[in-house]
Structure 1
Amino acid sequence: MNGIMKYINRIHRTGGVVYSSKLKDYGIAHCQHPYIILICREPGIVQEKISREICVNKSNVTRQLATLEEKGLITRQQDMEDRRVWRVYPTEKMQELLPCVRSVMREWNEYLLEELSEEERETLVQLLEKVAKRANEAAQNTLSGRDKQP
């Protein structure tokens, strides 16, 4: 069996090319769309949770949030109970971008699945969810120091 990561990585990289092309007019890089989706879904989310949710190290999250803040897409506020924690909120400008980002994601998803039957789509999604859950468990174990994967 060929390694599945070859195909997953290719889909991810080609998706980045498509997202970059379709989002460039909005000043959004392809790696920023997960931040937009997550922050709009959970206004006031803490930076650490963003790191866990999208599996990106904290320094990358800090860098991306600084960029989004410079573009006027987010605001960061210190938590009133724990001054070490920063909460992230979408601005109106980010809320206005959200439908565009979702549209690009939906179009790409539809394009990728276009040649699959409904049954194949359902099977693919179920299998990918299973693999993603296992991958997430490995990442969380690694981040918490309980490295149990090969």
Structure 2
Amino acid sequence: MNDSFHYLSMANHMMVQKKLMEQLKDTGLTLGQPKVLDYLKDHDGASQKEIAAGCLIEAGSLTSILNRMEEKGLIERKMLNGNRRTFHIFMTESGKKNQKLVEETFEKIEETALNNVSEEEQKVFMEIFLRIYRNLAEIK
């Protein structure tokens, strides 16, 4: 296994995605949907533009993810204040139920990933991981 930063970053991301989708297979959720439900947990009623930015998803990809979620009854789009140009996305009861499962699954995966890592090491790692994210976010 390659131990470079880029390889380990990609490998860890793919491993989290794989474990997440394996554990959520009975829900019928597809790639991208857990991330959107996780975002809506704290931003229910967000606009599509806000969700795309918050989830780091391209607008076109998000539209197809939301269409499938709406078909499954996980979300509903609503216009607010008569603004026909901007739809706001709200979780349905089914969406909220699935969001809880997503949250529990993320917690289990994080617990497994951080097994045998002390609280102090976790704190330092998260500080560095956030710094790396901010550094990359500055690249134009």
Same fold (TM over 0.5): yes
Which residue of structure 1 aligns with residue 47 of structure 2?
Answer: 46
Which residue of structure 2 aligns with residue 99 of structure 1?
Answer: 100
Cα RMSD for the two superposed structures:
1.5
1:7-31 per-residue CA deviation (whole Å, 9 max, x = no partner) reads 1110111111111110010111243
Name the CA shift for 1:136/1:54 in 2 (closer, same or farther; >3 Å). farther
Name the CA shift for 1:66/1:117 in 2 (closer, same or farther; >3 Å). same
Q: Number of aligned pairs?
A: 138
Give the distance between the partners of 1:116 and 1:40, measured in 2 at CA.
28
Give the distance between the partners of 1:45 and 1:63, measured in 2 at CA.
17
Which residue of structure 1 aligns with residue 73 of structure 2?
Answer: 72
Three-state SS of the structure 1 residue aligned to 2:117 is coil
Which residue of structure 2 aligns with residue 131 of structure 1?
Answer: 132
1:63-115 per-residue CA deviation (whole Å, 9 max, x = no partner) reads 10001101100000123353211110000111112221111101111111102
TM-score (norm 1): 0.85
Give the distance between the partners of 2:89 and 2:41, measured in 1 at CA.
10
Three-state SS of the structure 2 residue aligned to 1:77 is strand
1:79-118 aligned at under 5 Å gives the runs 79-118=80-119
Name the CA shift for 1:81/1:5 in 2 (closer, same or farther; >3 Å). farther
Give the distance between the partners of 2:54 and 2:6, measured in 1 at CA.
20
AA of the residue aligned to 1:29: T
- Pick 1 or 2: higher relative contact order, CA cutoff 8 A, min separation 6: 2
Higher deviation after alignment, 89-98 or 30-39 = 30-39
Give the distance between the partners of 2:138 and 2:54, measured in 1 at CA.
12
1:1-16 aligned at under 5 Å gives the runs 3-16=4-17
TM-score (norm 2): 0.91
Which residue of structure 1 aligns with residue 56 of structure 2?
Answer: 55
Give the distance between the partners of 1:51 and 1:16, measured in 2 at CA.
18
Specify every segment of 5 or more residues in structure 1 that has no aligned partner in the other structure, as ranges: 139-146
Give the distance between the partners of 1:134 and 1:83, measured in 2 at CA.
37
Which residue of structure 2 aligns with residue 142 of structure 1?
Answer: none
